[in-house]
Each structure stands twice: as structure tokens, then as C-alpha cells.
Structure 1
Amino acid sequence: MDKRQLASRIWESANTMRSKIEAQEYKDYILGFIFYKFLSDQVEQLMYANDVEPDELAEALVEDDAETVEFVQNRLGYFISYDNLHSTWRAAGSDFNVADVRDALAAFDRLILPSRAHVFKDIFRTLETGLSKLGTNATSQTKAIKDLLDLINDIPTDGAQGYDVLGYIYEYLISKFAANAGKKAGEFYTPHEVSEVMSRIVAAHTQDRETLTIYDPTSGSGSLLLNIGQAVAHHMGDPDAIKYYAQEIKESTFNLTRMNLVMRGVKADNIVARNGDSLEHDWPMFDESDPENTYDPLFVDAVVSNPPYSQKWKPAGKATDPRFTQYGLAPETKADYAFLLHELFHIKPDGIMTIVLPHGVLFRGGAEETIRTRLIEANNIDTIIGLPGSIFYGTGIPTIIMVLKKQRSHDDVLFIDASQGFIKDGKNNLLRARDIERIVDTVHARRDVEHFARVVSRDEIRANDYNLNIPRYVSATLPPESVDFFATVNGGLPISEIDALAGYWDVLPGLREALFDEDTNGYATIRTDDIRETVLEHSASGALADTLNAALAGFADSLETELIDGAMAVPVNTAEDGIKADLFTRLAPVPLVNEYQGYQLLHEKWLTIANDLTILQTEGWDAMRVVDPVMEWKTKDKKKVEVQTGWEGRVATFEIIRDLYLPALRDQVEGLTAELEGATAELAALIEGLSEEDKTDLADVLNAKEDGFLKSDLNKAVKALPALPKGEQWPEGSVEAVQIEAKQLLDRLTKVKSQLKKANEDLETKTHETVENLTDDQIVEVLSTKWVAALMVQLALLPTLTLRELADQVQRLQDKYATPLTQLDTQIATTERSLLASLDKLTGSEADMQAVAALQQMLGGGQSD
């Protein structure tokens, strides 16, 4: 089971187990226990690494052994005794009790190394105080905790996979709880895709630094900080050269920040976290006993945040606060600019900040307009990125990412309208990899992109009275579609609208002529009955596909060399960047092909490749020969239970194995499946064709719902039918004929079901055996098929996607002028005459006939004699 499957399974289980407990609260319990398991396992691994055998652990890890306590504390920052280990709880079985958890959490706080108190002190308080909500008494609470411990037991917490699996599952659970927490979600989670945009921008700005400090004054779960750190570490190469500062007002969420940082492998010395209100209590900058001589403000390389939108704050008394003196105070009812100025104050002169804000900060008046004006004149605002609406959990309002700096080499502002680049994901919108890449590339290149981005001078912003509303400068919303009045009335396709597609005609010679007959008066007609077929089958379209194939020549070989031949050395976290750059270089000269669409295909395949590479690098090549059970949730006795529904290769999927090595068995199963579906459909059609009279006549052989036959009764009825003379048959549609046909179909279904069951069992067994006995050459073939060939097939379709878009545009043009008003007028007149003729034949009461006469008058006809 890979990390995505494990995360999904844990979420499904947790969501079932939480019952009536709110997602917002339950997340604190499951995430708290995962963190405790992590810390507990760290203690065990430390002891084993220092020559303590498993059977010696109980004697070695005791609180009375001051030397061992000090040894563990100095290396981990805390101490957990043997009795309080997660593994000890699990081994206790029925002797385990909720009281064991309470005692362990109290002991944990008591045994923290004082110099690590800022990381671990009270980190389990939310979990400790919430245990009582897991049940009405100690027995039910104990059961709920044991269920949780069972649930998280499969999560690896030993760091063997670079914290990748643990971190992925933790982030996955946080995002899922956020999606189910409604408006409260914004308190602790920034969607990963938004974090990705912000982190890529920060990483590009700070990539040449040997050390880095990052600060988030509204840290939530800490995921935003971590994503920034990971992106920067790709360039720096040393994740331990990054120091994280975090502040969070809500205690339970503050604990989440610290847990997340620790579990993702951030060293305690690199974590500086505070529980407090960033606007009320700025980062401690002085010793309260001697503030004047100890003043030492915090300045960092990068600040990132997703603060609560437009919340109230207390500006009173802050006019002299150094964070706000240069720009002014945000209004009491909207703290958006207070957070922005707080963050801007804390970046170094060459630093950068990215902040998520509501659109209102761009155009609201009053104090906010004053602050906005001063920020522009101080040349602090670098980029404004408009995001799609409904991209954050708990709110549908559209938001922006604003990028600010203290020192800039230019005085313009880059506006990006990314509001139209997304896919739907349930109730929310989701940035795709291609959307993220396009935004980040545009920020780096700082260039104009039609209907997407524009670099705007400060003079133009001044002329707009410092209003930064994005649509004033660039809009992703296309202008209204033009309508030709002559074509609307008389028909025909305006050549001017065909000319608007010149980008296609220039690249696809002859296709325009194949589609349209154009006259000298500026109008045209469609020459083909099938627009899509004409476009896709044209020789110019084939030439475009040839151009793409030439551009991709050697790409598959390059991927096989890098990813398969060098699988054990591939840097999983950074390899996609190099492959992406190669793909962009290849696609750039291919006309009409969208390189971002190509990157989306690469990224989606890379998620699978990266996951497989992680497994192979962790477990070795033998992982290719491992088969795992497939588990699914089923409802049994009104309860959800997890049951095994089959098997799947850990890396070598059954589908690929069957396609490569068992095609005959696969085809047999598919053929029998199709036969079964066909017979089922025939039987359903037979029943649907029965009249009520037929159903009455067949009552003895139909079930109570009259939607199926009773097989035993049907067999008896057919057997009892009198024999017909040789060569004769029962009349078609007769009760006898229906019974005979139904029996034949049921017999056929029984036979095919039996054959299909055996074929499926044979195919499952053979597939299982094939995976477990893959040769080295077959392993290479499987990976080549799964990783490389599948991607190349998708990339080869890029021209087809473009050509389909062209066909759709031509079809819309045809549909727009398909029925001219002159023709519509004729159709209306014909319909009116037909209706008048029908009205003449009506009879009724005097009142009815008066109504008919009135309707005839409306239709332009008089009362007929």
C-alpha cells in the first residue's frame, strides 16, 4: 500500500470512527496520537541505535535512571519511559486504559529538556483535555483510543523514507479535516496548491542564500511554512540551514504547528514558535526589564501568511508602533493591512513576503486607501495575483496573493488574473499543476500575457487613484462574442469571424478551404457535414502531429535512462524539474500545442513515478515482486467495515501485467464479461417489453416486483408446455414464447457466470504468480510501460486536443448562424397557419369558443365560418 492509499484508508477509518464528534475537534485527537507515536518511536530507535536490545528496553527506559533520562533528553529534547511508549500501550491489550494516556501525557511535560520547552511544552494539552469527549466513561474512551492506536499503527515514523510518508499522511489528514470543518477550516489550513504558488515565488527570490529564516505570524497547521521550506531546500540542498519562526493565536492550532514541524524532520534548534496574537503581541524584541537597551527586532528573509480575512483588531495606541508608523493604521473592522504591515516590517531589506488577502484590500477607501497609496509610493508592492473563488475551505470569496519587498529594482506592479485557471473539486475549486506553473513562470519572467498578466507602471496606477482592482489592468474574462447582424438575419458565416481564427489557419494550410466556401461579399458556408472529422483527418493536422513527434524524438529514451536505469539514484524531490524543463524546450517550437497542457500530463504521471521510485529506493527491486491486499469499506449490519476485495501489485499493477504477459486470459475474461452484460441486457429488455396483460399471464413465473423471473417456477412452466408439431414454434410475443426465451437467457446467464468466475480466478492466480516471479528484464519492461509509454501516449494526443478545440469553435460559429431570422420568420408563419387550421376544428362551450376566437385573432387569423 503506497502513501496515498494508506492516507486515504486512514482518513476513511477516522471519518467513520469520529461518529458525532466535529471534524474540527477530532483532528486534534488523531493528529495528537500520530505525533505521540512519532515521538515514542524516536525514543525506541535511539535506544536500539545505541546497542539496547528490544528485550532490554523495559529495564533501560525508566524515569529513575537519571543517566538514561539525560541521554535521551539531550538528543531528542524529551524523555518517554517504557511504560508510556506507544508500543507498550499496543502490547498491553485489554490491560490498556485511558488512564495510561493521561499519566503518559503528564509525564511527558514533566520530562522535557528545559532548553526545548519552546518546542514541546504543553504540546499535548489539546489532546489531554479532549480525551473525555471520546466517550461517556473510561470504558468507551479506552475503546475509542485503542481504535485510534490500531488505525495509525501502519504509519511509518522512523524517518527511513525521509519523513515523506509520515509528512504526506499528516498533510493529507489536515486537508481532509479542513474540507469537513466548514468555516473553521481557515483557522488552520492553506490549500497545498496555494502554498505551492507562494513557496515557488519565495524560493526563486532566496535561492542563492546559504542560510534562511522564514516567519509565519498566523501559522495554522504549519503547512505553509513547511512548503516554503521544502521549496527553498531544493535550491539550497541543506534543509537544516532553514530556521522557522511561527506564531499562532489559537492554542490547539499552535500545537499543530509545532507537531507538524517536528514530524517533518525540522530540528528543534530551527523551530521558534509562540502562542499569541501577532498584532497585539509582536515578536519579543526586548527584555521587559530593560527595553531600551535590549531592543532587538526580528528580521527574516521571508514572511508568508494566510491571515484571517477582514477580522476586527485594536488599532488604539499603536500609532507609534514601528510596524505601522510609516504607512498608517488599518481600520478597526478590517485587520488585513495590519497583518500585511506587520509582515512587511519583519522582512530584511532584501527579503520577500507573500500574503493571501481578500480582494477588498485592492480598492477599499478610507484608511486602507491611505495605506495602499503609501505602499505604492514606497515601491513595496511587487505582484498581485488574483486567485479563483472557492479555493479556500470555508469561504467562497475570491482572494489574492500579494508579493511585497522592501527593496526593488523596478517601480511597476505585475498584475496576474489567474481566476479562470482551475478545476472543480467537489464544492471547491482547485489549482492544477499547469495553473501553478503558469503563474510562477509569469512571475519569474515578469512579462505581459494576453488575458492573463500585465506589468503596469506606477504612473498608470497613480492615474487610477491608486486603485489596484485587477480588472482595471488585466482580465482573464474574454470580451463578449461579436454578432454579425446581416448573418443573423440572412444566414451565412461572417468571414471576419473566420479570420479571427487566423492562428490556426496559418499553421494548418488548406484546412480553411476544406471547411468553408467563401464568397466575395464577406460571408461563407460550411462545406462539410462533420466538422470534427474534417479537422482531425486533414493532411495539415497530420503534419502537426508529425511536428510534435519529431520534437519528442528521444524523450522516451531519455526518461528510461534517467528513471529506470538510474532508478535507485533519482532525486525524487527535484527530478521532475529537469524533466519539465526538457519537455518545455521540446514543446516550445511546436505551433498550437499548449506546453502547460503537456506539463499537466507529465505532472500527473510524475505523481505515480515519484511514489514508485520512493518505494523502490526504500525497499529495493524486490518491491516489484510484492502483491498487496486491496481493502475497501463496505456496509455490513449497518456498520462500515474494511474488507479485502482483491490483490494488487505494490508497483507492478495487475492491469499492466495482464496486458503484457496474460493477454489471452485477459481477453477471455473481457469476452465473458461482455457476454454476461449482453445477456443481462436482453433479459431486462424482454421484461420491459411485457404489457400489463402479459405480466398478468406470467404472474406465476415473475417475482413480486415484476422485474425478474423466478427461475425454478419458470423452469417448471417451460417443462409443462405441450410439445408442438415438428417445425412449429410458439407465436412471437406469446406467453409461451416469452417463457422459453427467458429460460434460455437465464440458462445462458448461469453458464456464463460460472465460466466468468473460473476465468477470473485463473486470471487472478496467474497474475499473482507472474508478479511474484518477474524477471529483471520484465521489471524493466513493466516500468517502461507504466512510466514512459503511458506518458508518451498522452503527449502524442496534444495536437488532437488543440484540433478538437478548433473544431468546437467552428461548430459554435456554425450553430450561431444556423437559423437566420428570415428562415425563422418563415417557420413561424408556417406554424401559425398549421395552428389556425387546427383551431378551426375545435368545438366546445360558448366560453371555450370565445377563447379560441381570441387566440385566432392573436395569431393573425379571423374567425372561420
Structure 2
Amino acid sequence: MNKQQLAAKIWESANQMRSKIEPNEYKDYILGLIFYKYLSETELQFLKKEDFTDADINALKEEDADTVDYIKKNIGYFISYDNLFSTWINKGKDFDIANLRDALSAFNRLISPAHKKLFDGIFDTLQTGLSKLGDSAASQTKAISDLLHLIKVIPMDAKQDYDVLGFIYEYLIEKFAANAGKKAGEFYTPHEVSVLISEIIADHLKDRKIIEIYDSTSGSGSLLINIGASVAKHIDDKNNIKYYAQELKQNTYNLTRMNLVMRGILPNNIVTRNGDTLEDDWPYFDENDPVHSYNPLYVDAVVSNPPYSQKWEPSHKEADPRYARFGLAPKAKADYAFLLHDLFHIKPDGIMAIVLPHGVLFRGGEENTIRKKLIEANHIDAIIGLPAGIFFGTGIPTIIIILKQKRPNTDVLIIDASKGFVKDGKNNKLRASDIKKIADTVHNRVSLPKYSQKVERATIRENEYNLNIPRYVDSSENPENWDIYASMFGGIPVNEIEELQNYWEAFPGLRETIFENNNEVNTKLKANDVTTTITEHKAVVDFNNQFNQAFHDFNNYLKEELLSNCETVKISREKIVLSNAIFKRLEKLPLIDKYEAYQLLSDKWDVIKVDLEIIQTEGFEATKVVEPNMVMKKKNGKDVEEQQGWKGRIMPFELVQETYLSDELKSIQAKENRLIEITTEYEEQLDKLAEDDKEADAINEAQDGFVNAEVLKEAKRIKAENKKNTNFDEDSFEAIILKVNDLIAEEKTLKSQVKTETIALHNKTKATIENLSEEQINELLELKWITPLVNSINSLPKTIIDQLANKVQTLASKYEITYADVAHEINEAEKTLATLLDDLEGNDFDLQGLNEFKNFLHGKE
């Protein structure tokens, strides 16, 4: 299975194993054990590279000082044979919780002095939490043993562009965060927010050869890792990126270190600290040599997602160089304390990004003073308003602030990105197109209607340094207006037609073809069929032709990019290459939103990327691999994994059947369609039955279906009693039973045939995939990767034209019924009601009441 499927399977199983343990705690067990497996296998890979035999590995003991020192010197730690993850698995039922406790204790003793900072205490959270897994050693052993066997399938040899381990680790962290409620904010920044910040930071750093990045509230380290991955796309050697991280909570700090180490980052490029960022600032120094190892830490980029509006202690910090220039954040809200800390640590040409609550933009008091000084010192580069509900555990509106030490411009770019998201369960989620649009807007510093605005410092001063986003960017929908003239007399207001000016500019002459003027403020619809008129208009035809010309070679371009180079294409950069190709083709085309096109690419890329990763990792032959299709089933109240047929590693069975086995597929589909028809015919025959006949044994108790066994008996009886005459009236009970009897026989035969043919087709599909020629593989990959993307891109012009037709039709319908029409209908209804009232009878008081009501209807007082 691919890494997405494997990650989902591990999460599902782990979540079931968790039982009553809180997600925030359980993550420390499974993530800690995954890390231990990584360290074990890293050591084994090193030993095999160093020509250690199996016998040598089996003999690894802590008492062998020379071997221990050699291994520690090279990988930073030593694990004896008895304590290796693979040894535990081989023990089977002989594994005991004591094995894990002993191994974790031994690990702490056997860390290289040079790697002490990196590994010291990294398993403390796991070690101290084992007692929560059960009341007895036996129950704890079972819980850990289950986890060991769950994660043993995770491959640990991270390869370029196919980091399965890193993907699964990130996947599990995100899933635990989604289930951890408010505690999620302690250790996780949503992946999409990380990617957005990463793209902005990476663009700023893309021309540098050596890069240092720092996260002052690192959590699980995911934000730092994503930034490293984005920066690595623009740098020749990813080992030229150095990572600094600081985290307050011990268990979360351990996650940071594990996550960084498992991404294959060189140990010398990882510098981490467990401490309070606001109280225990860098400079960082080695306790053994505090003078000569002093490092005040100025880096190329700082990122952070600190706890929002946290209390802190500002006393005696007036002279702290981080805050001296700007002032101290209020005691009740440390937001600006974190911001100033981050700003202090970037180089003159550096950049920082921090996630904060929206209130920091407009709150008064000390925060306003700090905000004013930051603006006057020209540090605030951009403000990005994010959608609400985008962070786990909180629904408050959040923002990203981008700051720099030195800037050539003095304006502030303000972006309201709060409307761009998709609903994902309880949370909102940035789409790929939302991230791309925000990042491009920051990069190009452009003002876009209802989205972004470059605000001059003079304007901000006039607003008393209030940076509240709605003051500068109005992203609200235009209120619906009703034209008084058109409401009274009909027609379509000219000013509402002019709101579609972008369409009229793109399609010259179309407006005049659709509308004609009643007067200078009002028009009427001239076209009888709006959609046809628009579609057949010369300007629209030219627009379609221009689009087709721009994309006429797109299919061949994709084949060259993806099929011809599938084993060598740089996966991490290819999405950018493809998006640039699409944007280039769209440059001179009006109306089409390039970010909508980007989203179409992104949706398809997710499938293409997985396949490319498999091909580049396992070879082109992976396209012909068929593997067991494993599904979870309930048996005796337990979830059991069973094989249910086969599935293609890359090639979908359905696609192969549609392409090469269409005759067999159509045969099955025809029989399945006939089975659906038979179900309908059962209902028709049931409806024909007289009510008395529905009391027969052949009809079920609810009288909504037939009882097959009884129908067969009844049909047999009818045939036996009417050997010479079976010519019954078609609506008679006998005819209906005989008809249903025939349907049952036909249905039974068809079901048997469908089952037999489906099994045969499934097996034939398996054999077909395993014997595909290179030409067939390329054809199938084109159908899977390229055809859906080309078709979705080619649908964009039609979407634009349909949108215009709908807008025009809506305008025409809006004023189709005038106020006079409505008033006339009301008047007629009142007259009719008054006439009906004349026919009513009652006592004197009733008649007086009715007469007064009629006066109201006639407008009398």
C-alpha cells in the first residue's frame, strides 16, 4: 500500500488501541516507539554498511567498549542487540515491558557526548508514561506489544521525495491534534498554515547558499520541517540548512527532536533547547565552555505559532534587548513579547512570520505603543487574515504577521484571506489555491479588490496605528440592491448590467446583442435563448478558440513532462513547473481565474505524485504489481483484517477493465442492469394484485414483496392444476405468480452469472496488469494522470460562459414581475375573498365582524 494508505491504517488501529487514554498522551507512546524503531534501524543500516556480519550484530553488547565507542562516534548513540526493535519483534510472545524499560534506560547511558544535547532525555515522556498503559506488567506488555507490531511495517529508509516515515509521523501528529481538543495548539500548527508560511519564507531566502531557521515555540517541529522542505527546493545542498528550535513543554520538546532527527537532518544541523522562550532567551552556549561557545543567534528566518494571549511576567525586563526598543507587552497577553523575541533574532536581511490572534492588530494600551513603534521603525511587511476555525481547539480569528529588519518600502500589505477555505469536518482548511494566491500576493505585493491592499504609513498614522483588517480591505459581499424604476416598470437596470463589465470587456459587442435600451437607465432582454446567444457570439467563439490555441499542445506537454521523465522528474519541484506552464498559457486569456486552474492541477497532482513516488522508489516495474486488497471486518466483535481480492499497486482495476477488458465489463454491466429491471418488475407485479390476493402466502407479511419459496410452490400448483390451459388474464393472480416465478428463475441465473463473470474478470484484470507492455503502461498512465487534468482544464471556458448566462438570466428574472403585477394580484385576491365572504351566514355579531373585514379589504377605515 502507498504511504497515505499505510498512514491511515496505522492511525485507525492506533486509535482503537488507545481505548480510554487521552489522544494527547497516547501520541507520546506511538510516536516515541516509531522514533526508537528509526534509531534501531539506522544503527543496523550503519553496521551493514560497515560490513558487520549477522553474527557481529548478534554479539553487540554494552560491555564491548571499543565497539560501543565506535558506533557512538559515528551515529551518536549505541543500542545493544537485545535492545534493538527487530529483536523485540523476533521475541514474539516472550517480549516483556521490562525489555522496553531496560532499553530506554540503557539508551540514556549510551549517548555520545557530542550528541548529548540532541538525545538526552528524549524518551523520558515515553518512559514515565508506561504505567498509564495498564494496571499490571502483563497489560502494559500487551499494549506495547500491540504497538510494536502495528508500526513494524513502517519503512525507515527515507528516500528523496518519498519520505514515508516523515509522512506517517506528520499524519499521526495531525490526527492526534484533531482529536486532542484545546491541547492540540500546544504541539501542532495545521499543515496548510505551515505550507503557507513556508512558501513565503522560502521565496525570501531562495537565493542563499547557507540558511539558518529558528522556531521559538517549536511544538512538534512540523512548522520548522515544512519550512526546511520549501527552502530545500531552491538550494543545491539541503545539508546547508541549519535548524534551531526552542520549546517549553518537555513532552512536546521531545517531539521536536524526534521529528527533526527522523527527517535525515544532520545532527550538527539540529540545535534544540527545552525552556521558556520569554524567560530563557538565547544566547545559547555550551555549559562546558560558556565563553567561547557564546552564540547570540541571529538567523535568516524565524517562525512561530506561540500560545495565544498567554500570561507572562514582564517585571524587570525593561533592559532586555529584545524589548528595550519597543516596550513590554501587557502581563495578561504575551503576544507581542513573542513577536519581539522573534524579531530580535533575525539578521538585517532576514524575515519572520508569526501566527497571532486578530486582536493584536487593534488592541490599545501597551500593545498600541509597541505596534506604533514597529510601524514607525518600518518592520511590519504584511498582515494576512486567516479564516476562522482553521486551528485545532480554537475558533478565534487568527493572522500571520510578516516582519523584516530592513525593507525598501514603507507600506504594509494587508490581505483578507478569510473567505478562502474548504470545510473539513469541524475545522476549516486552506486549499492549495488559497495558499498559492496568498503567497503570490505577498511575493508580488499587489492590491486586489476585496482581497488585498498596500497601505501607506501615512494612512496608518491617520488611523492611530490601528491595523484592523476591515479598515483597509472590505471583503464583504456587495449587498443586493433593488432598482425602484425597474421594480415598478420592469426591465433591467443599466447600472446592474454594468456590474458585469469584466465580461463585456472580454466579449466586445456581446452586451448589445443581449440587451436593448428602454431608456437611459433601463434595458430589456433582446435574446430569446440567452445561453445560445452567448455561446454562438463571435467574441465568445474567439475566446474559446484563443483558449484552445493556448492549450492545444498541453496533453503532449504533460506526456513529455510526466511520462517520458517519470523515473527522473524532480517530484518536489514538478508541481511548480506544471503550474507555471498553466499560468503562462492563461496570461493573455481574460476572465479565467488562474488559481481555479491551480486548484484543478493540485487536486490531480495528489494522485500523480503518489504514483511517481512509488515508481521512483520501486522502479517502473511497480506499475505491473498487484497486491492483496486488505479490508477490516468484524468477527466475534473484533476487527480482523482479511484479504478481499486484489488491487493494482498503481493501476486501478476499473481503469484496466474499461481500457482493455471492456467486452467482459459490458457483459457484467448488462446483467446488473437487467437485475435492476427485475426489481422494478417485481414491484409492478405486486401493484397489479387485488387487495384480497395480497393475503396469500406468496406475499410477505408487510405486503410489500414476494416470498420466493412460496411463489415457487404456488407456481408449481398452478401449472399442475392447469396443464391444458395456462392462458390466464395478465392481471389475474395466476398470471402474476407465473410471471414472478419466471423473474425469480431469471434473477437467480443472472446473479450466478454475474458472480462467476465478476470473479473471472477480476482474475483476468490481475493477469492483464502483471503482463502489461510498456506501451500499455504509458497509455494507462496517460488515462489516469493526464486525461483527467486536461479535461478539467478544458472545462474552464464553459464554466465562465455558464456563469455569465446564469447572471444574465438572474437579472432578467429579478424584475420580471413588477410591483404593479403584485399589487394587481393582491387586489384580485381581495375581490375574490370579499365575494366569498358575501356567501357566509351567521348571527348578527358574526355578520358585523365580516362586514368590518370587507371594509378593510376595500381599503375603507
Q: Please say whether Structure 1 and Structure 2 have the same fold, judged by a TM-score greater than 0.5.
A: yes
* d(CA) in 2 for partners of 1:261, 1:229: 10
The 3-state SS of whatever aligns with 2:691 is: helix
Alignment-derived partner of residue 226 in structure 2: 227
Which secondary structure state, in structure 2, belongs to the residue aligned with residue 483 of structure 1?
A: coil
Q: Structure 1 residues 389 and 529 mapped into 2: Cα distance closer, same or farther (>3 Å)?
A: farther
* Equivalent residue, structure 2, for 1:698: 695
State the alpha-carbon separation in 2 of the partners of residues 213 and 842 from structure 1: 91
Which residues in structure 2 correspond to 1:109-188 (within 5 Å)? 109-160=108-159, 164-188=163-187
Please give the secondary structure, in 2, of the residue aligned with 1:609: helix
User: What secondary structure does 2:505 align onto?
Assistant: helix
Letter in 2 for 1:325: A
| 3-state SS of 1:824 partner | helix
| Structure 1 residues 827 and 210, CA gap change in structure 2 (3 angstroms) | same
- Conservation of the 8 A alpha-carbon contact between 1:836 and 1:861: no
Structure 1 residues 571-592: Cα deviation after superposition (integer angstroms, max 9, x where no partner) = 1111222222121111111222
Distance change (3 Å), C-alpha of 1:491 and 1:461? same
Please tell me whether residue 781 in structure 1 is matched to residue 788 in structure 2.
Answer: no
1:35-72 Cα shifts (integer Å, max 9, x gaps): 1111111111111111123354211x211111221122
Alpha carbons of structure 1 residues 400 and 656: separation in structure 2 relative to 1, 3 Å = same
The 3 A distance-change label for structure 1 pair 654 and 286 is: closer
Compare 415-424 and 11-20 and name the one that shifted more.
Answer: 11-20
What are the Cα deviations for residues 160-185 of structure 1, in whole angstroms up to 9, with x where unaligned? 45661111111111111111111111
Question: Alpha carbons of 1:471 and 1:66: their partners in 2 closer, same or farther (altered >3 Å)?
Answer: same
> Cα 1:541–1:664, aligned 2, differ >3 Å: closer, same or farther?
farther
Q: 1:124 to 1:534 in 2, by over 3 A?
A: farther
* Maintained 8 Å contact 1:386/1:401: yes
Query: In the aligned structure 2, how far is the partner of 1:71 from the partner of 1:659?
Result: 59
Residue 700 of structure 1 aligns to which amino acid in structure 2? D
- For the residues of structure 2 that align with 1:828 and 1:242, how far apart are their CA atoms? 76
What is the rounded CA distance, in whole Å, between the counterparts of 1:211 and 1:705 in structure 2?
Answer: 78
Matched residues in 1 for 2:304 and 2:128: separation? 29
| One of 717, 721, 727 as aligned partner of 1:720 | 717
Does 1:62 pair with 2:61?
yes
CA contact under 8 A between 1:163 and 1:265: conserved in structure 2?
A: no
* 1:604 corresponding residue in structure 2: 603
| Distance across 2 between alignment mates of 1:835 and 1:631 | 70
CA distance in structure 2 between the partners assigned to 1:14 and 1:159 by the alignment: 23
Confirm or deny: 8 A CA contact 2:162 2:613 kept in the other structure.
no
**Aligned equivalents of 2:150 and 2:837: distance in 1?**
74
1:31 paired residue number: 31
Distance 2:58 2:751 in 1: 57
Q: Deviations for 1:225-248, whole angstroms, at most 9, x for unmatched residues?
A: 001111111111211111111111
Q: Which amino acid aligns with 2:43?
A: V
Counterpart of 2:252, as a letter, is T
- C-alpha displacement of 1:830: 3.4
Question: 2 CA distance for matches of 1:216 and 1:273?
Answer: 10
Contact 1:695 1:706 (8 Å CA) reproduced: no
Higher mean C-alpha deviation, range 744-753 or range 790-799? 744-753
Deviations 1:567-612 (A, max 9, x none): 2221111122222212111111122221111111122222222221
After the TM superposition, which of the residue ranges 838-847 and 568-577 deviates more from structure 2? 838-847
**What are the superposed Cα offsets for residues 659-687 of structure 1, whole Å, 9 maximum, x if unpaired?**
22112222223333333333334545766
The within-5 A match list for 1:141-290 is 141-160=140-159, 164-285=163-284
Q: For residues 851 and 663 of structure 1, what CA distance do their matches in structure 2 show?
A: 77
The answer to whether the aligner puts 1:679 opposite 2:678 as a matched pair is yes
2:761 equivalent in structure 1: 763
Within 5 Å, give how 1:615-654 maps onto structure 2.
615-654=614-653
Give the unaligned 5+ runs of structure 2. Answer: none
Question: What TM-score do you get using the length of structure 2 for normalisation?
Answer: 0.94
Q: Is the 8 A contact 1:354 1:402 kept in 2?
A: yes
User: Shift of residue 814 of structure 1?
Assistant: 3.3
Residue number in structure 2 paired with 1:550: 549
Structure 1 residues 516-556: Cα deviation after superposition (integer angstroms, max 9, x where no partner): 45433543444567655654565654433322121013232
Give the SS at the match of 1:322. coil
Assess, with a 3 A threshold, how the Cα gap between structure 1 residues 765 and 365 changes in structure 2: closer, same or farther: same
TM-aligned CA deviation for residue 361 of structure 1: 0.5
For residues 63-122 of structure 1, give each alpha carbon's deviation from its aligned partner in whole angstroms, at most 9, with x where no partner exists. 111122112211211111111111111111111111211111111111111221211111
Indicate the residue corresponding to 1:93 in structure 2.
92
AA aligned to 2:427 is N
Distance in 1 (alpha carbons) for counterparts of 2:630 and 2:511: 54
Counterparts in 2 of 1:453-468, with a 5 A limit? 453-468=452-467
SS in 2 for 1:237: coil
Q: 2:595 and 2:120 mapped to 1: Cα distance?
A: 47
Q: Output the amino acid matched with 2:326.
A: Y
User: Is the Cα–Cα contact under 8 Å of residues 163 and 263 in structure 1 kept in the other structure?
Assistant: no
- Structure 1 contact 16–640 (Cα < 8 Å) conserved: no
- For the 8 Å contact 1:625–1:649, the answer to whether it is kept is yes
Shift of 1:131: 1.9
C-alpha distance in structure 1 between counterparts of 2:117 and 2:426, whole Å: 39
| Residues in 2 aligned to 1:715 and 1:260: alpha-carbon distance in whole angstroms | 67
Q: Are the aligned partners of 1:626 and 1:650 in contact in 2 as well (CA < 8 Å)?
A: yes
CA distance in 1, matches of 2:476, 2:784: 39
CA shift for structure 1 position 720: 3.3
Is the CA contact 1:387–1:418 (under 8 Å) kept in the aligned structure 2? yes
Alignment match of 1:791 (pick from 789, 808, 811):
789
Q: Give 2:707's match in structure 1, choosing from 686, 705, 710.
A: 710
The answer as to whether partners of 1:219 and 1:246 remain within 8 angstroms in 2 is: yes
Counterpart of 2:547, as a letter, is L
Q: Kindly report the root-mean-square deviation, in angstroms, between the aligned alpha carbons of the 2 structures.
A: 2.8
Alpha carbons 1:697, 1:735 under 8 Å: kept:
no
CA contact (8 A) 2:693 2:733 kept: no
Native 8 Å contact 2:383 2:414 kept in 1: yes
Match of 1:74 in 2: 73
Structure 2 equivalent of residue 814 of structure 1: 812
Separation in 1, partners of 2:473, 2:761: 58
Which deviates further from its counterpart, 197-206 or 709-718? 709-718
Shift of 1:827: 2.6
Q: What do the CA deviations read for 1:95-152 (whole angstroms, capped 9, x no partner)?
A: 1111211111111111111221211111111112222222332222222222212221
Offset, 1:851: 7.9
Number of aligned positions between the proteins = 859
Question: Could you tell me how far 1:257 is from its partner in structure 2?
Answer: 0.6
Deviation at 1:839, TM superposition (A): 5.6
Letter in 2 for 1:32: G
Q: Distance in 2 between matches of 1:780 and 1:234?
A: 28
Shift of 1:333: 1.1
Greater shift in the superposed pair: 180-189 or 371-380: 180-189
Letter in 2 for 1:81: S
The answer to whether the 8 A contact 2:161-2:571 is kept is no
Cα distance, 1:790 vs structure 2: 2.2
Query: Kindly tell me: are residues 611 and 730 of structure 1, through their superposed partners in 2, closer, same or farther at Cα, counting changes over 3 Å?
Result: same
Percent of pairs with identical residues: 50
Seen in structure 2, the aligned counterparts of structure 1 residues 759 and 527 have a Cα distance that, compared at 3 Å, is farther
Q: Cα gap change, 1:849/1:448 in structure 2, threshold over 3 Å: closer, same or farther? A: same
Matched residue SS, 1:631:
strand
CA displacement, residues 726-778 of structure 1 (integer Å, 9 cap, x when unaligned): 6954464x655654554444444323322221221122112111100011111
* Pair 850,197 (structure 1): closer, same or farther in 2 beyond 3 Å: farther
Distance 1:703 1:133 in 2: 55
Question: What SS class does the counterpart of residue 337 from structure 1 fall into?
Answer: helix
Contact 1:587 1:593 in 2 (8 A): yes
* In structure 2, C-alpha distance between the alignment counterparts of 1:850 and 1:28, rounded to whole Å: 82
Q: 2:565 matched to 1:566?
A: yes
Any gaps of 5 or more consecutive residues in structure 1? none
Residue 352 of structure 1, CA deviation:
0.6
Aligned-partner residue type, residue 17 of structure 2: M
Residue identity in the other structure for 1:257: T
Aligned partners of 1:788 and 1:51: how far apart in 2? 46
